[in-house]
Structure 1
């Protein structure tokens, strides 16, 4: 016999009531839409969140089949899962689907439906929970949009909006790979380098330069077909890639359109200017080669066009051989510098008033172990292009100073000898040049006037402000500067007046015109006369280069030129021969008599 205790019954009742209140609070306060659905699929109860999501009040919900709340295209799948749940083949299911709003729109949601059983395990009802995914979907869309924008930024040039090198490489790789499966198909690359872009940047500012690039980009894009790619390769370089080129003729036709498009003036704010482009073209088929090879070949063709003064060149095998030879020569030049395989030759400079050798120009020479004598014009320009000119110039200056110091120390006749060395435009832009000259003089115990620096007119006009600053710094250290190849058309009297120069070297082209009695000889003599008069007004000396005949020498002396050098006096000589001929000779040099 059991005895029920009233207090125990009250406690159980209280706990049940508390659980019901807790469930009701969760049910009503949940941000999830929750509904209780009978086994026939009709809503028995729904919380406020569920009613708000489907925009249907609970009284109406009780009259609507549960699965009809979803989008018509999603109902069949939902209904099939619900039947399997009620039949006991599923304990729950979850899917993402769309629900209808009162305004006819839809929203994405995640539906989770679970079967609730009684104490005997028999199905009683279902609980459906609805999670509105609108915010998540919007966040995903924003993320996808951000990713797309980031991808666009990663693959396009921010200034012009054109594809950049990364996207260009992707498209070229796909096109080149497909060529192998299409016999006879070809692709082409046009490599464009804008001419005189640096002048616009330097004179009008980077903002104007950027606008020029944007306008050029638009004109180039207009020249390309829908399947072609116009890319900014970097700086003022652009690429036009033709993934399916009919051949050389089509590439040339596009190049012609580009040049025509660039003929029209560019309006850059308040400035009107023009630009042109040098174009290199390379073609490829499916027989081999990579996108990098194609770009390299087009680049070679562009530089070849610049080198020969053309506006356009199409790559061929000879260009590649020339580039490989140049690359090999660069490697050999680096080795020659490291192993001190170079040597100096000295060409005497004479005072026309006395005939005495007062100085020499130090000229670098290279006898290649395989190729023999390599012309200075070839390897010095190579050094300038590859950045080796700094090391080469430092070696020339140091070796010339060493040799001069040795002559001055050992030979009484060389006590007042001076040596000049050439300084390239790149060296002139080196902020360490002035200190390097001072260090070289100090190491060899030479006075500043013993070492002359020869600069070309072109190096002074590239950056006049920097050049003037360097010249003034050299002047403060009493180092003398000669202006080489004077008269080639770069300098003006006003610019010369502001530069602290010590001598002008008349270009050999004017000296060579002075022979005979022709109009050309008269013109040459008048030019030299004018240069000498200009030098006198500036208080600087004059050196004539390239003297090859007695007539030239006599005319230069009559015109008041101070110094002369050239083959008439002597070829450039190795140090030992120069010493024997001019520093140890018993017979003094008589001007007008060739020595070599």
Structure 2
């Protein structure tokens, strides 16, 4: 039955009444015929109406429902949270909410349901009545089971390193926090030790034997390190050729014993296909002895100790002590220099092309900040950007990057034929996402340089969304209303639930470079890497967004991304980040204006 239209003005009052009657009949048919339980309640929580499916699921007839408030159906343990959400809905703080909870049937048995509640308001914004939709979760459908399996798979991917299978930084942070809290005893100041390992001369293996052999070395090292751990300890891959061993309840002597064991197990030769090689590690140790210390500080101390050992020639072990504090002073000096770097013109933007996998055309450029220090030379981006985030300088740095990227794009579009449709991609830090006035600042920057909003892509990481996904989603929706594109960067390295992703107004997912790298080599690991990418592409398609493969370094990776249905690619195989003039010369063609 088609919905009676109300788009054209009626020719008479009778015609309007007939149309309204038809629409009421249509909505009543949908209401009564729906397989989903639907009920209408007033703002006091009293039932006004409930369809047959709702009555069947709940096990109560319409007359009985009208005599009881709908909160009385709740399981006692679920009532407080449900009541809070309903109050937030009535107050206007929420427009709707969804949760999984339990109802109690008349016979006292528990009924698991997925509940969606929304509110209908009058022309003045006052709440009139609530609409409740209920799914019976007693019998999960195959689609729901597959969705939950996919979400669990993504959760595992988010907490484990895809190459070695070890816990990653996220899971390590959780376990460190638990260890420092005193574990199950809840003492608040737990005792533990951290070993920060950096493999010696790993770059030489990669450069001389190739990344495939280097990856196999990391996998074998991971297995050997895991064999050194005691029950309850954690061995994690921190990134690159760095590993962390968290020893719960351990002190200095136990940490030194494990470090000696690590050196012993790594001394045996590694069989890497047709190659035999050896590796060693430099180890930094930091101990939490029951005094108050954060997980970040403990990791920093272990990192400082490792670099202290490296400075002494490597392949050795060092335990953190306060004499290493001078490293912190050097960092403070770098912070002071960074505060003045913008005004002194030491920061520049480089641009890395993003290409279409359909036709190979350069469709966008990612703007990347670079710092040329007058004394120390080029400061690595991960060092000064992390420093900017830690010190609060990221807001001013981010504003400069946005403005400079927009200015450069506007200049290219005005002067170069090849840049007429070019877009620019700018990274947005978690701190920037929380800045008041972000949306207005972005709009003002675009207006100042005469750029359409669709020319700008803002990239943010999953970690930006975890702390307060509702607030982040609000900012993103405001950006989308202005037609600014939103990309989720490094996808798969954080944890975003599927329900959260469905609510975000995203334009694309950028597959993290670690997953792209994992497709190389034609091995079982490469097959698993391809399956991971295939899963992410499938998820993106279900969300209706595009996919960008990051960190493409080989033609094999590029071909695999194309075969798996990725839309775009970016990486050193195509081009490293380039200064503006080199980027324009390489990718944007001759000037449009002689």
Using the size of structure 1 for normalisation, the TM-score is 0.48
TM-score by length of 2: 0.49
